Structure 1
Amino acid sequence: MLRRFTMLPFAAFVDCLRLAADEGDRSRQLRCHWVFMTSAGQDAISSCGAAVTPCTAFRDPAEFDYIVVIGGVQDERDRVDTTTQAYLRQAADAQVPLVGLCTGVFALIQAGLMSGRRCCVSWYHHGDLTRRFPDIEPVADRLFIDDGHLLTCAGGIASADLAAHLVERHLGKAWAMKSLHIMLIDEARRGAHPQPQPVVFGKIEDRLVRRAITLLEQHLGEAIAMDVLAERVGTSRRNLERRFRETLGVGPQKFARDLRLRYGLWLLHYTGKSITEIGERCGFADTAHFSRHFRSTFGVTPSEMRKRASEPGGDRVDPFFLHVEGHPAL
């Protein structure tokens, strides 16, 4: 566990192992075994302030079937943990598979282990990774990637999916499903399952526009008033509209609506929610309002789109990314 590691990926991953390790919920390490390590055996302090103890100092990597790196809050001013980097390189030399959860992938990159490889990263950290490591290929449209000796995961609850993937590999599907069902998770999602979040891809030079888009991405379930959005990013509505049109060719209101419609498209493809529920979840006042804008954008109604997506070989509009280079999707 790295400094200020994120608690949910840690808990989701280790609890899936814990529940597969024993009958019922008795937590004995019978079928799965694990230890918690930090560079010098110090307590591991999470980003929320909770501590994991006791931890052991790094042990011989050859003792383990996998070494899992739980990343934490990213602060480029933090001192580089050279001890951890050296340990990860030692593990790679010993051909022990390495698992990077959440921003744990940043540590694998800094250790020089991801050259020429793709890595899974959360949509939320995609921009940070591409800015800091332009030579690395980040993937933000799936939950995890299993490349043999290097496994990377977007984090969050997807860490349970990756743990279930490994439990199924070594113990069988029944044990993986047992863990997930106790965790109130219906079924394991495969690595290729998309992250439930539309992402705006493309380099946006204007910092104010970037900040506004980040806010819009984080509030897909509501229609934010443009005056409120402008206030949140510290400018006037008029200036915000001008900067959006100069950068993206459309105003912020249309951009925000298109982003919420893309989210609705994702929900149509990958959930069983009703069209009424999807419209509400995407911040539209009623089903008619959602359906009207959806048809105007994609050329078909939501019900027609859902039917088309369910047909074998049916055409799909890409629900994941709203590209901005040249603004073709806008």
Structure 2
Amino acid sequence: MTTRIGFLLFPGFPMACLTSIIEPLRAANEISMSDSFAWRLVSELPRKVVSSAGITFEPDASLETVSALDYLVLLSAPVARFENPRTASLLRRIERHGTVLGAISGGVFPLVRSGVVRDERLSVHWCYEAAFAAEFPEIQRSNEVIEISPRLLTASGAAAAFDLALSLIEAALGANVANEVACWFQHPIMRKAGVKQALPIHQAADAEGEMSPLVARAIEIFAENLTTPASIAAIAERLHITPRHLERCFKQATGQNPTGYFRHLRMQAARQIVMYTNDSIAEVATAVGYANAKPLVRHYRDTFGLTPQQDRKRINLYRVEGNLPVPSV
């Protein structure tokens, strides 16, 4: 029995995500000497699609004409919008007829915009989390590598797409074949549902080894709600330590005090919203815990060397001149 998978490509889709899911499926067919998986490239309209790397792909079918799929996986930059006004209704119809829909990386944005998501948790890449929360506050988002439900499956990025492929292979051909595929590509570990994404943590130049669990947990607590961020005293209380001890641990691990480090997290979140939404600067400020836009603009300029307005203008100019979205993960 062949599992038929379609990949719906939007302009600027992350090419690495496509190859990361197709190649393990191809290898599984070769190892098992079977046609267990078949795939097709699909587009909204019957024309070529340019990836984030500038490489052009020619789809096998348009969304209007594609049929007989077990899965349809969306690959997109988060800023992609439907070019065909019928796309959302077509996706809902395809799902109603039994096709499992999925999304990789920024593909979760058009997946939600289509209206097919109900109460499922979606895997959202950490670099899109703030923008996703700003646009879809009612949707459950997850920081896990992959999320799989009976109706939907999502993967946070390219490496997660490989893990998603391994899950499909294991379900169809067994753990031994999935393990062999992982070894073919020197994929170090088969990450299944429940594994959290790795996040970038800025450490002091002379720090050795992994960051201490205490500091990592403090960062987790702060990032839980950037709209109403916890104070240093409140975080220290939750960790059953004094604020002074927390500051010493932060300085040793990151070279910064907690206030400076947490401000950097807020600026990273603010930049996501500036890049991937049309929210006003006042709305961006509120989303990352500022009472008004003035201190946000000052801290943003200190961090990135330009104001949010200038950054958004630069990003939009890049999109227009290159005819591409901002590079996606």
TM-score normalised per structure 1: 0.60
Amino acid at match of 1:72: A
Map of 1:165-180 to 2, 5 A cutoff? 165-180=167-182
Where does the alignment leave 5 or more consecutive residues of structure 2 unmatched?
Answer: 1-8, 236-257, 259-329
Q: Is the partner of 2:153 in helix, strand or coil?
A: strand
Amino acid at match of 2:15: M
* 1:102 corresponds to: 105
Amino acid at match of 2:205: F
Query: Aligned partners of 1:69 and 1:89: how far apart in 2?
Result: 13
Which segment drifts farther, 97-106 or 81-90? 81-90
* 2:47 corresponds to: 42
* 2:265 corresponds to: none
Determine if contact 2:102/2:152 at 8 Å carries over to the other structure: yes
Where does the alignment leave 5 or more consecutive residues of structure 1 unmatched?
Answer: 198-216, 221-259, 261-281, 299-315
Amino acid at match of 1:88: L
After superposition, the Cα gap between the structure-2 partners of 1:67 and 1:79, relative to the gap in structure 1 and judged at 3 Å, is: closer
Query: Aligned partners of 1:286 and 1:50: how far apart in 2?
Result: 40
Using the aligned pairs only, state the percent identity. 19
Determine if contact 2:43/2:62 at 8 Å carries over to the other structure: yes
* 2:183 corresponds to: 181
* 2:297 corresponds to: none
After superposition, the Cα gap between the structure-2 partners of 1:185 and 1:115, relative to the gap in structure 1 and judged at 3 Å, is: same
* 1:17 corresponds to: 25
After superposition, the Cα gap between the structure-2 partners of 1:320 and 1:148, relative to the gap in structure 1 and judged at 3 Å, is: farther
Map of 1:14-93 to 2, 5 A cutoff? 14-23=22-31, 30-58=35-63, 63-74=68-79, 78=81, 81-93=84-96
Which segment drifts farther, 144-153 or 60-69? 60-69
Determine if contact 1:19/1:178 at 8 Å carries over to the other structure: no
Aligned residue pairs, count: 222
* 1:326 corresponds to: 230
Query: Aligned partners of 2:60 and 2:40: how far apart in 1?
Result: 7
Residue-by-residue CA offset, 1:34-61 (whole Å, 9 max, x unaligned): 1111123322210111112243223666
Determine if contact 1:161/1:190 at 8 Å carries over to the other structure: yes
Query: Aligned partners of 1:85 and 1:184: how far apart in 2?
Result: 38
TM-score normalised per structure 2: 0.60
Query: Aligned partners of 2:124 and 2:221: how far apart in 1?
Result: 15
* 2:142 corresponds to: 139
Amino acid at match of 1:6: P
* 1:164 corresponds to: 166
Residue-by-residue CA offset, 1:238-257 (whole Å, 9 max, x unaligned): xxxxxxxxxxxxxxxxxxxx
Displacement, 1:87?
2.1
Query: Aligned partners of 1:286 and 1:149: how far apart in 2?
Result: 44
After superposition, the Cα gap between the structure-2 partners of 1:317 and 1:72, relative to the gap in structure 1 and judged at 3 Å, is: closer
Q: Relative contact order: is structure 1 or structure 2 higher (C-alpha 8 Å, sep ≥ 6)?
A: 2
Amino acid at match of 1:21: N
Whether 1:155 aligns to 2:59 is no
After superposition, the Cα gap between the structure-2 partners of 1:145 and 1:318, relative to the gap in structure 1 and judged at 3 Å, is: farther
Query: Aligned partners of 2:98 and 2:218: how far apart in 1?
Result: 38
Displacement, 1:326?
2.7
Residue-by-residue CA offset, 1:294-321 (whole Å, 9 max, x unaligned): 59x56xxxxxxxxxxxxxxxxx957745
Please point out which of 8, 12, 15 is paired with 2:16: 8
Determine if contact 1:98/1:151 at 8 Å carries over to the other structure: yes
Map of 1:225-240 to 2, 5 A cutoff? none
Whether 1:114 aligns to 2:117 is yes
Determine if contact 1:6/1:73 at 8 Å carries over to the other structure: no
Determine if contact 2:31/2:177 at 8 Å carries over to the other structure: no
Determine if contact 1:144/1:151 at 8 Å carries over to the other structure: yes
Q: Is the partner of 2:164 in helix, strand or coil?
A: helix
Determine if contact 1:4/1:73 at 8 Å carries over to the other structure: no
Query: Aligned partners of 1:57 and 1:112: how far apart in 2?
Result: 20
Residue-by-residue CA offset, 1:250-297 (whole Å, 9 max, x unaligned): xxxxxxxxxx3xxxxxxxxxxxxxxxxxxxxx343154xx89x959x5
